[in-house]
Structure 1
Amino acid sequence: MINKINDLNTILEQADCLVSEKQIDSALDKMGEQITKDLQDTFPLVICVMNGGLIPTAGILERLSFPLELDYVHATRYGMETEGTSLKWLSYPQTDIKDRDILIIDDIFDQGHTLKAIIEWFEQQGANKVYTATIINKLHNRKINLTPNYIGVEVEDRFLFGYGMDYKGAFRNLKGIYAIKDS
Structure 2
Amino acid sequence: MTVEEANNVLREADLLIGEAEVAAAIGRMAEELTQRLADANPVVFCVMNGGLIFAGQLLTRLVFPLEAAYLHATRYGHETSGGHLNWIVRPQAELRGRTVLLLDDILDEGVTLAAIADYCRAQGAAEVLMAVLVDKRHERKVSPGFRADVTGIETEDRFLFGYGLDYKGYWRNAPGIYAVKGV
Secondary structure of 1:164 counterpart? coil
The one-letter code sitting in structure 1 at the alignment partner of 2:22 is: I
Q: CA deviation at 1:95?
A: 1.1
Corresponding position of 2:164: 164
The runs of 4+ residues in structure 1 deviating greater than 2 Å are none
Query: 1:102-147: per-residue Cα shift (whole Å, max 9, x none)?
Result: 0000000000110110000000000010000000000111112321
Secondary structure of 2:2 counterpart? helix
Corresponding position of 1:105: 103
1:39-118 alignment, distance < 5 Å: 39-118=37-116
Secondary structure of 1:75 counterpart? strand
The one-letter code sitting in structure 1 at the alignment partner of 2:177 is: I
Structure 1 residue 13 and structure 2 residue 5: aligned? Answer: no
Query: 1:4-31: per-residue Cα shift (whole Å, max 9, x none)?
Result: 1001101110000111111101111110
Unpaired runs of 5+ residues, structure 2, are: none
Secondary structure of 1:121 counterpart? helix
The TM-score normalised by the length of structure 1 is 0.96
Q: CA RMSD in A?
A: 1.0
Corresponding position of 1:150: 150
Return the alpha-carbon distance in structure 2 between the equivalents of residues 12 and 147 of structure 1: 29
Give the total of aligned pairs. Answer: 181
Unpaired runs of 5+ residues, structure 1, are: none
Return the alpha-carbon distance in structure 2 between the equivalents of residues 97 and 141 of structure 1: 32
Q: CA deviation at 1:175?
A: 1.8
Secondary structure of 1:152 counterpart? strand
Return the alpha-carbon distance in structure 1 between the equivalents of residues 86 and 77 of structure 2: 9
Corresponding position of 2:178: 178
From 134, 157, 160, give the equivalent of 1:136. 134
